[in-house]
A and B are shown apart, each in its own frame.
Chain A
Amino acid sequence: MNGAQALIESLKREQVEQIFGYAGATICPAADALKDTPEIAYTLVRTEQNAGHMASGYARVSGKVGVCMVTSGPGATNLITGIATAYMDSIPIVAITGQVPSHLLGRDIFQEVDITGAVAPFSKHSYLVKHVNDIPRIVREAFHIASTGRPGPVLIDIPIDIQQAQLKKFEWPETVNIRGYKPSVKGNDLQIKRVAATIAKAKQPLICAGGGVWLADAREELLELAERAHIPVVKTMMGISLMPTDHPLNMGMIGAHGNHCANQALAKSDLLIMVGTRAADRAITSPDEIQRRMATIHIDVDPAEIGKNMQAAVPLVGNVKVILRQLLDLDIPVSDSADWLAKLRDYRKAELGRVFPQRPGSVFPGTAVRRLGAKLDDDAVVCVDVGQNQIFTCKYLPQKHGRLLTSGGLGTMGYALPAAIGAKTALPDRQTIVVCGDGSFQMSMNELAAIKAGNLDIKILLFRNHTLGLVHQIQQTPPYHGPFGVDLDGSPDFETIASAYGIPTITVTEEDQLDESIDHFLAHKGCCLMICQVHPSVSTTD
């Protein structure tokens, strides 16, 4: 057995069923071994960055570790944005890169790059494999590190000579023991009691739930806590689909681009319970203010998040699901929050009933996502890109019991389409939707090839306003002096592009066509593109 075969055998032991990749010279031995492994499906991407995003989409909906595999040099550097995107959202992926022969490392030979060095600041860990016999242990450790504690991307860089070298014996380690890596699981009992006591005293408590709740698979526990203690819930962008829109405790998304109701709740609460969120600037714009005005509880698996962006009065470190279960096992008192809830529900009602502006010859994105959401399956997976399309979708798409995937931390344009391919590959029976703008679509429309090759039923809603809308919006606000470099001149006719891949298009230019068009769009068997014409001066604050 050679190193490449040991790698693939190790992936099989980790129950890997899918790899997203791009071939190249230094990863050929691994490709060769994969060829004889029908248990692992392979999707060829059109640029390596998207292999990372596909692995991310796959991981997020399946709860498994996503795997991508690319070649050395430019293959590896192209993948960097995919790795950084996964890191910022704590998504468990294992990235495998080919590398030049080990005896030539450091000589700047063809397609050599120091990828472990390059990804160090935004990967959870990385390995440069030096001995072929280490491969099983390294793969085992990489999956363990990627998927436990605070999840994140792990990179394994394997020189081609190591892939070709013969193993003495394939030894699969039954357990993982890394002395420097022991993530906390259970919450400190004393702190749990303090949390319960703090909740009992609050009159206007508020839960702020983030992506960490999804990562710990703690959605049910979160809802149980909120419902039992009568605590309203706001979410960060990463936690948006944790609760259906019509849930009586759901107060929407907080943040600079969030819902008015959620931000009002945050401003007026007397106890903020942060669960699986790092309180980054886009969600909580003034952490000092919040610290000063209200008591805070911070539940997170990563001890470094406690006090990083905000000092919490009561920190609680451990697995979010385990901690919430520990809390629920206590007799959590019901908050006396009736007045508080009544007030928030008025805000919420006003916001949900908000009438959007209308312009003849165009569609307002908020209107489109509202109508689309009403018609989606109960468990649909919606992948949304970055920009105005993201803000409108996160703010106004009615949530049911599905998922919303977006690049929340890094804000990587072009994420949605490949993430949807990953998600659809993991869960082929789930309705999968992409929402993007004409800027972000052009960053990853080459992956229509992967959709076609995989015959994937993915629906793409494209907002076309011929500009980078959100940047346009920023540039029209002081201190800037107007739009520059944001008009998407030279954009292709997207209908022709889609038809080149055999994908039909529905174009909507008037809002009264929306309902019928969405019906056709969703009823179509296979991939379909729906283009909504959006006025270039539309703002997310309209």
Chain B
Amino acid sequence: MKQTISVLVENQAGVLNRITGLFSRRAFNIESLAVGVTDDPTVSRITIIVDSGNNMVEQVEKQLNKLIEVIKVRTLEETNLIGRELMILKVNANNKTRQDIMTICEIMGAKVDDISPTSMTLELSAEPDRLDTFQAMMRPFSILEVARTGVIAVQKGGGKI
């Protein structure tokens, strides 16, 4: 089962190393990880996605809490969260294929960031499943490069972490 853990940490060097270390020493794989500074410049938010059992997530949450630089940890409710990922995708494009690519972009809500005689660079921000679909649709045109940010997420409603 996929779970999304949101962690508030001190915005300092070495913190990420300690956090990922907690996962690797237990041989747990991190599916996705995204870090960014919050509205308070001394605090960063790390969003981690893991695929594993409940017990493991509970233990990881407790271990994360033990780290001195970790301020808050919360496993988000999967059914009640807003999760988004940004993808930038560069694909082969020529006069014959450009229009087909544009059609898919319109359907999926992707934006064109750059264009050249042989390529197009596209941008899509959505739920990861939707990015997967978009990526699959682009594959026949021959993808040159893909960069994805990893998911960031917040819980719906007025509460905060």
Q: Is the CB of B58 within 8 A of A307?
A: yes
Measured between beta carbons, the chain B residues less than 8 angstroms from A117 are 14, 17
Q: A180 contacts which of B25, B59, B63, B69 (Cβ < 8 Å)?
A: B69
A-B CB pair tally, cutoff 8 Å: 37
- B66 to chain A: closest residue by CB: A304
Q: B10 contacts which of A128, A180, A308 (Cβ < 8 Å)?
A: A180
Q: Is the CB of B71 within 8 A of A179?
A: yes
Complex alpha-carbon distance, A402 and B92, angstroms: 77
Mask for A164-182, Cβ within 8 A of B = 1, else 0?
A: 0000000000000011110
A121 at the A/B interface (Cβ < 8 Å)? Answer: yes
Q: B71 contacts which of A180, A303, A304 (Cβ < 8 Å)?
A: A180
B3 at the A/B interface (Cβ < 8 Å)? Answer: no
B36 at the A/B interface (Cβ < 8 Å)? Answer: no
A residues 414-436 in Cβ contact with B at 8 Å: none
- B15 to chain A: closest residue by CB: A180
Complex alpha-carbon distance, A382 and B71, angstroms: 41
B129 to chain A, nearest CB (A): 32
B111 at the A/B interface (Cβ < 8 Å)? Answer: no
Scoring A117, A179, A302 by chain B CB atoms within 10 A of each residue's CB, the highest score goes to: A179
Complex alpha-carbon distance, A125 and B10, angstroms: 14
B139 at the A/B interface (Cβ < 8 Å)? Answer: no
Q: How large is the interface on B (under 10, 10 to 19, 20 to 34, 35 or more residues)?
A: 20 to 34
B90 to chain A, nearest CB (A): 33
Q: Is the CB of B66 within 8 A of A302?
A: yes
Provided the pairs A303-B62, A307-B58, A307-B59 are in contact, do residues A145 and B68 lie with their beta carbons within 8 angstroms? Answer: yes
Provided the pairs A145-B68, A179-B71, A180-B67 are in contact, do residues A120 and B18 lie with their beta carbons within 8 angstroms? Answer: yes
B5 at the A/B interface (Cβ < 8 Å)? Answer: no
Provided the pairs A304-B59, A307-B59, A308-B59 are in contact, do residues A125 and B21 lie with their beta carbons within 8 angstroms? Answer: no
Complex alpha-carbon distance, A117 and B62, angstroms: 21
A residues 91-129 in Cβ contact with B at 8 Å: 116-117, 120-121, 124-125, 128
- A304 to chain B: closest residue by CB: B62
B65 at the A/B interface (Cβ < 8 Å)? Answer: yes
Q: Is the CB of A125 within 8 A of B68?
A: yes
B13 to chain A, nearest CB (A): 8
Mask for B1-35, Cβ within 8 A of A = 1, else 0?
A: 00000000110011001100100010000000000
Measured between beta carbons, the chain A residues less than 8 angstroms from B62 are 303-304, 306, 308
B91 at the A/B interface (Cβ < 8 Å)? Answer: no
Q: Is the CB of A304 within 8 A of B65?
A: yes
Q: B17 contacts which of A120, A125, A181, A303 (Cβ < 8 Å)?
A: A120
B159 to chain A, nearest CB (A): 20
Measured between beta carbons, the chain A residues less than 8 angstroms from B65 are 303-304
Measured between beta carbons, the chain A residues less than 8 angstroms from B55 are 307
B residues 122-137 in Cβ contact with A at 8 Å: none
- B63 to chain A: closest residue by CB: A304
B49 at the A/B interface (Cβ < 8 Å)? Answer: no
Measured between beta carbons, the chain B residues less than 8 angstroms from A302 are 66
Complex alpha-carbon distance, A304 and B65, angstroms: 9
B70 at the A/B interface (Cβ < 8 Å)? Answer: yes
A138 to chain B, nearest CB (A): 12
Q: Is the CB of A121 within 8 A of B68?
A: no
Complex alpha-carbon distance, A306 and B62, angstroms: 9
Mask for B46-58, Cβ within 8 A of A = 1, else 0?
A: 0000000001001
Measured between beta carbons, the chain A residues less than 8 angstroms from B59 are 304, 307-308
A residues 257-306 in Cβ contact with B at 8 Å: 302-304, 306
Scoring B65, B68, B70 by chain A CB atoms within 10 A of each residue's CB, the highest score goes to: B68
Complex alpha-carbon distance, A125 and B25, angstroms: 16
A333 to chain B, nearest CB (A): 32
Measured between beta carbons, the chain B residues less than 8 angstroms from A124 are 68
Q: Is the CB of B21 within 8 A of A181?
A: no
A46 to chain B, nearest CB (A): 31
B111 to chain A, nearest CB (A): 39
Q: Is the CB of A178 within 8 A of B68?
A: yes
B12 to chain A, nearest CB (A): 10
A180 to chain B, nearest CB (A): 5
Measured between beta carbons, the chain B residues less than 8 angstroms from A125 are 68
Measured between beta carbons, the chain B residues less than 8 angstroms from A180 are 9-10, 67-71
A205 to chain B, nearest CB (A): 27
The 9 closest A-B CB pairs, nearest first, are A304-B62, A180-B71, A125-B68, A181-B68, A180-B70, A121-B25, A120-B21, A120-B18, A304-B63
Contacts from A to B (Cβ < 8 Å)? 116-117, 120-121, 124-125, 128, 145, 178-181, 302-304, 306-308
In the complex, 8 of the A-B residue pairs with CB atoms within 8 angstroms, ordered by the A residue number, are: A120-B18, A121-B21, A180-B10, A302-B66, A304-B59, A304-B66, A307-B58, A308-B59
